[in-house]
Amino acid sequence: MNAPARIDLHTHSTVSDGTDTPRALVRAALAAGLDVVALTDHDTWAGLDEAAEEAERIGVGFLPGAEVSCERLGRSVHLLAYGGDRTHPGLVAELVRIRAGRTDRIPEMLRRLGRLGMPLTEDQVAVHARDTPSIGRPHVADAMVAAGYVASRDEAFAGYLAEGGSAYVERYSPDIADAVGLVRAAGAVPVLAHPWGRGSRDVLPPHVLEALVEQGLAGWEADHVDHTEAERAELHVLAERLGVLATGSSDYHGTGKTRNPLGVHTTDPSTYAELRRLVER
Ligand code: AMP
Ligand code: ZN
Ligand code: FE
Ligand code: FE
């Protein structure tokens, strides 16, 4: 009998804040023994064509996606969107607006770091952001590491860049319920990323997850490194009770996040089959 398929539905490339190009990411997925990988860069679909082409060429299953930056009650939450119409005017416009917010906050972040005694120029950040359309705090963190201010991305976040940190600057993101509606309108399948990671259970408690399901949410990641074992179990039970998907994924960022190797968590093949059915509908 064949081993069950290994399916990883949440990864990042250099098109956002990962460190593998889309092509390299797909190759890494094959090397890691995955049968299916989804590329879900932050707020952009720019890597999907390259990744899909390479996946086809080397024989890895591929699911196109994006991780949409959202908020609830002023706190950042992330929504995975699988498949859908990548020319949908409303969703395209929303992603443009979110990415503009990413770019626009960089100068203020650098001013704050300067005041904290860690001067950096936009050019120093650009070395790490390269040509990404979706610049993020990890690129600033990489510039801080290169300048010798901190030892790692994690240290940059823990000391300065995490939500509420001394160099943190807010940016535009849509309300999660509105985003679920918009993703659905574009024919894509909305799945919450790490709903209870990094303390976000406060803003996404079970009754809010239930309300979002009523608004079209198709499920959430249960198995994710930012969830405890108890949280994973509870998210599986809740998904089962509500009849929605509970996925498992790595949230791989290449060398940018060491706790998230490809396939560290995977999605059950029957759950993936249901997701595919929703994507293709
Ligand atoms: P941004 O896209 O600018 O909002 O930055 C968020 C991204 O930074 C996340 O998707 C993660 O890749 C990374 N990140 C967030 N929090 C941390 C943290 N505490 N340590 C390391 N990386 C983080
Ligand atoms: Zn990221
Ligand atoms: Fe995320
Ligand atoms: Fe992610």
- List, for residues 56-115, the tens digit of each pLDDT value: 999 999 999 999 999 999 999 999 999 999 999 999 999 999 999 999 999 999 999 999
Query: Residue 2: which pLDDT band, with cuts at 50, 70 and 90?
Result: confident
Centroid of ligand 4 to alpha carbon of 193 (angstroms): 7
Q: Which atom of ligand 1 is nearest to the CA of 153?
A: 21
157 in ligand 1 pocket by Cβ < 6 Å? yes
Q: Decide whether any atom of ligand 1 lies within 6 Å of the 136 Cβ.
A: yes
Distance 12 CA to ligand 2 centre (A): 7
Closest C-alpha to ligand 1, atom 22: 154
Residue 16 CA: which ligand 1 atom is closest?
2
Residue 123, pLDDT above cutoff 70: yes
Residue nearest to atom 13 of ligand 1 (CA): 138
Res 213: pLDDT: 98
SS3 of the chain: CCCCCCEECCECCCCCCCCCCHHHHHHHHHHCCCCEEEECCECCCCCHHHHHHHHHHHCCEEEEEEEEEEEECCEEEEEEEECCCCCCHHHHHHHHHHHHHHHHCHHHHHHHHHHCCCCCCHHHHHHHHCCCCCCCHHHHHHHHHHCCCCCCHHHHHHHHHCCCCCCCCCCCCCEHHHHHHHHHHCCCEEEECCCCHHHHHHCCCHHHHHHHHHCCCCEEEEECCCCCHHHHHHHHHHHHHHCCEEEECCCEECECCCCCCCCCCCCCHHHHHHHHHHHHC
What local confidence, expressed as pLDDT, does residue 1 receive? 52
Provide the pLDDT confidence category of residue 257 given band limits of 50, 70 and 90.
confident
Does the CB atom of residue 160 touch ligand 1 within 6 A? Answer: no
pLDDT of residue 20: 97
Q: Is the CB of 253 under 6 A from ligand 1?
A: yes
Average pLDDT, the chain: 97
